[in-house]
Amino acid sequence: MPHINELILLARPVQETDSLIIEAPEGTRRLAATAFKGETGAQGLQGERGLTGLQGVQGLTGDQGPPGTASGIREIATVTTGIIANLNWETGTFSMANSFEILQVVLSSAARIRLYNSAANRDADVGRSVFQAPTQGMGLILDINAVTVLSQTLDPHAHGSNMEAVPSDTIYYTVTNNGAPAAITVAFTFLRKEH
């Protein structure tokens, strides 16, 4: 009987249909090839999961936008003078807003109304004739000479601001009377642009 090492090697993997015959004095024995088939190997371990990348740095905050209008609601500010003789004037102040946009001016009687951004600019321009052009950069916001039309809708609107060292809602005016002696009331319809 051949030794097991003398058996012919198969040129392929052992299959379940193969068999091994062993002859012994007791007789011939046939063993199924599966008896020699190796067990299935254990499944390999799963690889480790890679590390999560770091989160990027947060971007910088953008610049703050410019302030919008304070309310967008139309308001009315009024000036009432003492009694002024014909062609005489009165200077003074009244409260409106630090910055504003004037839409309409209504006078109670014929008069000239001028608004300025500072007391110094108002006083420097007080004697200027209605027929004389203002000096550029003198802080004049508005100059209306109403003789017959007492309600003036402004187009374009008049924009102005208090330009004193410490801004406030104080606005500086000169009112010149164009008729019989009277106390003159001027009403300004405006939008507040800055408190």
Is 120 within the bounds of a domain? Answer: yes
**Rounded-to-integer distance, Cα 167 and Cα 169, Å:** 7
CA–chain centroid gap for 168, Å, is 26
Is 50 within the bounds of a domain? Answer: no
Which residue type does 107 have?
L
Instruction: Note the pLDDT tens digit of each residue in 10-68.
Output: 566 656 566 556 565 666 555 555 445 556 777 878 878 878 878 878 878 877 765 55
Nearest to 102 by CA among 188, 195, 40, 17: 188
Is 45 within the bounds of a domain? Answer: no
Is 133 within the bounds of a domain? Answer: yes
Number of domains in the chain: 1
Nearest to 98 by CA among 172, 169, 166: 169
Is 153 within the bounds of a domain? Answer: yes
Is 35 within the bounds of a domain? Answer: no
Q: 188 lies in which domain range?
A: 74-194
CATH of the domain at 145: 2.60.120.380
Residue 124 has pLDDT above 50, yes or no: yes
Nearest to 134 by CA among 73, 25, 126, 101: 126
Is 25 within the bounds of a domain? Answer: no
Confidence label for 3 from pLDDT (cuts 50, 70 and 90): low
Is 47 within the bounds of a domain? Answer: no
E strands present in the chain: 19-24, 27-32, 74-84, 89-95, 99-107, 111-116, 140-146, 151-161, 170-177, 182-194
User: Averaged over 164-174, what is the pLDDT?
Assistant: 97
Confidence label for 167 from pLDDT (cuts 50, 70 and 90): very high
Instruction: Note the pLDDT tens digit of each residue in 63-114.
Output: 776 555 456 899 999 999 999 999 999 999 999 999 999 999 999 999 999 9
